[in-house]
Amino acid sequence: MLVSVVVDYVVALRMPNSSENRKKKLLLISLFVNLGLLFYFKYLIFFAENTIALSNILGADIDPLFLKIILPLGISFYTFQTISYTVDVYRGLIKPERDFMLYACYVTFFPQLVAGPVLRAVEVIHQFAKRPPFMWSDIALGLRRIIYGLFLKVVLADNIAPLVDIGFAIPIESMSALDVWTLAFLFGFQIYFDFSAYSHIALGSARLMGICFPENFNFPYLATSAKDFWRRWHISLSSWIRDYLYLPLAGIKVHDRSVGGLANATLNTSKNKALFATWAIMGLWHGANWTFVLWGIYHAVVILLYRLLAPLVRSLNRNIKVICGITLTLPIMMMSWIPFRAESLDLTFAMWGKVIDPFSYTHLGMRENVYLITAIILIAIGATYYIKNKLAPIFYRGGLIVFFESIVFSVMFSMVIVFLRPINQFIYFQF
């Protein structure tokens, strides 16, 4: 990290007074250092193993490569932050930060360092420049976010995890199509609760210090389309991919904020190559495995299909559009989690094969309570959205919000104490 921080700091300082040609060279230096370090630590073994395997298939006898590389914690996240900084300076969106300690604080600020959200300099550096005044509202809001995040993690995600592990351990021959659907939904819930929990804790921890981060999740499983899903899921990453990868490849004007996600990327038939390349890289960013690449390609195909159907969707009544959109989008997005969780491409295609086989819907391979738990969680997500957006405003108007939140967060905190077990790390720590 120290190498990339120093290089990007120096590169950014030299850019403003440089010619356009020199600016490009400086930017290339920054990208080479950052992506080079990321490639070495995260992808060298993956590409080496695949190269050796391909060479052996072609007739070359190459011995397996034995490398032991320890992946630095959070390297994917702070690499993206340093890249966005130098690119934004190159684009003229921000001025280079001359105070090295201030810039280093932006890159290494601990709450979100290991699992996001991916911060942009324009969003946070100015907050570090001046010590924020102490405000009790920041303390209260920060603690609420932390308690909510802990509840999502230790009460929900960590208790769903064993069900997912047991389900994916079942031999594929014994699985039914209903089992595959249930496991897709369960893991979708697990990773959502787990990752959004970390985001809430990160936002809450920063808020305790008077620092505001952009939101990273907004009820993604209530999305009405694939685009809408990525407007709501891991917003900081999807908007980063939009502005620093997809839009430059597609030749479209970029944005300067972590909002909108990939949904703000205008698509047309001439941009399909950029779409698929972006999503393949998006998948590979999540892990050095072909299953993650497949996950990315899956989303590219889904987004392309939604784009083709856009004229038909726009002609529908608004209520019908919302109901049909959620009904179709939810299972499609959930099914994308199969390659994200499966250990191999073979298992992924085998599980997808079960789903499209009508004769695989005739039996159940897991305990009955697993299906019931899945249904309850799905209903609870919808109920939570209704309470937050419909009932909470009523409590605000009636002056009962303090009483209502006191009960809710007291129950959450009590359940966190009961279920707290220091055994399960956050899923996104591996990325």
Q: pLDDT (tens digit, 9 = 90+) per residue, 192-246?
A: 999 999 999 999 999 999 999 988 999 999 998 888 999 999 999 899 998 898 8
For residues 220 and 71, membership in a common domain is answered with no
For residues 64 and 145, membership in a common domain is answered with no
Highest-scoring range by mean pLDDT, 39-48, 60-69, 289-298, 359-368: 289-298
For residues 89 and 173, membership in a common domain is answered with no
Residue 403 pLDDT > 70, yes or no? yes
Mean pLDDT across 6-26? 86
Is 387 a domain residue?
no
Record the pTM: 0.88
Query: Of 355, 252, 342, whose CA–CA distance to 293 is shortest?
Result: 342
For residues 154 and 286, membership in a common domain is answered with yes
Are the beta carbons of 144 and 402 closer than 8 angstroms? Answer: no
For residues 29 and 176, membership in a common domain is answered with no
pLDDT of the residue at 268: 58
Distance CA 7, CA 34 (A): 9
Indicate left, alpha or beta for 154 from its phi (over 0: left) and psi (-120 to 50: alpha). Answer: alpha
* Boundary-marking domain end, from 374, 393, 417: 374
Alpha-carbon torsion (344, 349, 353, 356), positive or negative: positive
pLDDT of the residue at 86: 92
Mean pLDDT across 176-193? 95
Is 303 a domain residue?
yes
Is 221 a domain residue?
yes
For residues 180 and 83, membership in a common domain is answered with no
Residue 188 pLDDT > 70, yes or no? yes
Is 186 a domain residue?
yes
For residues 67 and 157, membership in a common domain is answered with no
% of residues, the chain, pLDDT over 70: 89
Distance CA 149, CA 215 (A): 13
For residues 264 and 357, membership in a common domain is answered with yes
For residues 232 and 88, membership in a common domain is answered with no
Mean pLDDT across 397-423? 79
For all residues of the chain together, what is the average pLDDT? 85
Mean pLDDT across 364-391? 87
The dihedrals phi and psi of 232, each to the nearest 5 degrees, come to -115, -20
Residue 149 pLDDT > 70, yes or no? yes
What domain count does the chain have? 2
Query: Of 308, 300, 301, 231, whose CA–CA distance to 268 is shortest?
Result: 308
Is 124 a domain residue?
no
For residues 282 and 141, membership in a common domain is answered with yes
Q: Is 234 a residue of the active site?
A: no
Residue 154 is part of which domain span? Answer: 137-374
Is 429 a domain residue?
no
Mean pLDDT across 111-135? 84
For residues 100 and 142, membership in a common domain is answered with no
Distance CA 181, CA 156 (A): 19
* Boundary-marking domain end, from 374, 389, 414: 374
Model confidence at 270, in pLDDT bands (50, 70, 90)? low
pLDDT of the residue at 185: 97
Say which of 255, 286, 299, 363 is annotated catalytic. 286
pLDDT of the residue at 421: 75
User: What's the one-letter identity of residue 274?
Assistant: A
Is 430 a domain residue?
no
For 26-63, how does the pLDDT look when each residue is reduced to its tens digit (9 = 90+)?
A: 889 999 999 998 888 888 888 887 787 777 777 666 66
Is 368 a domain residue?
yes
User: What's the one-letter identity of residue 303?
Assistant: I
Model confidence at 431, in pLDDT bands (50, 70, 90)? low
Distance CA 385, CA 395 (A): 15
Are the beta carbons of 431 and 286 closer than 8 angstroms? Answer: yes
For residues 23 and 146, membership in a common domain is answered with no
* Boundary-marking domain end, from 331, 359, 374: 374
pLDDT of the residue at 378: 93
Model confidence at 292, in pLDDT bands (50, 70, 90)? very high
Residue 282 pLDDT > 70, yes or no? yes
